[in-house]
Amino acid sequence: MIAPVLIIQLILLIVAIVDLVKVKETNGPKWLWALIILLVSIFGPILYFIFGRRQS
């Protein structure tokens, strides 16, 4: 029952980190977003995709 949640969390974490590395500019410093993504469990990547990405 916990395995699907862990898999989703891992996928979100990997996708968010890859996106953070590829994007040139973010809303705020990249190092801070990396910490948020890594340390705030499943909500870190979600917060990055909602607030961290700069819309062009």
Looking at residue 3, what is its pLDDT? 92
Cβ-count burial 3-27 (b if 16+ within 10 Å, e if not): eeeeeeeeebbeebbebbeeeeebe
Say how many domains are in the chain.
Answer: 1
Looking at residue 42, what is its pLDDT? 87
Looking at residue 1, what is its pLDDT? 82
Q: What is the pLDDT along the chain (56 residues), one digit of tens a residue?
A: 889 989 999 999 999 999 999 998 899 999 999 999 999 988 999 999 999 988 76
- Whether the model clears a pTM of 0.75, i.e. scores above it, the answer is yes
Looking at residue 56, what is its pLDDT? 63
Answer yes or no: are the C-beta atoms of 12 and 4 closer than 8 Å: no
Domain boundaries, position 12: 3-52
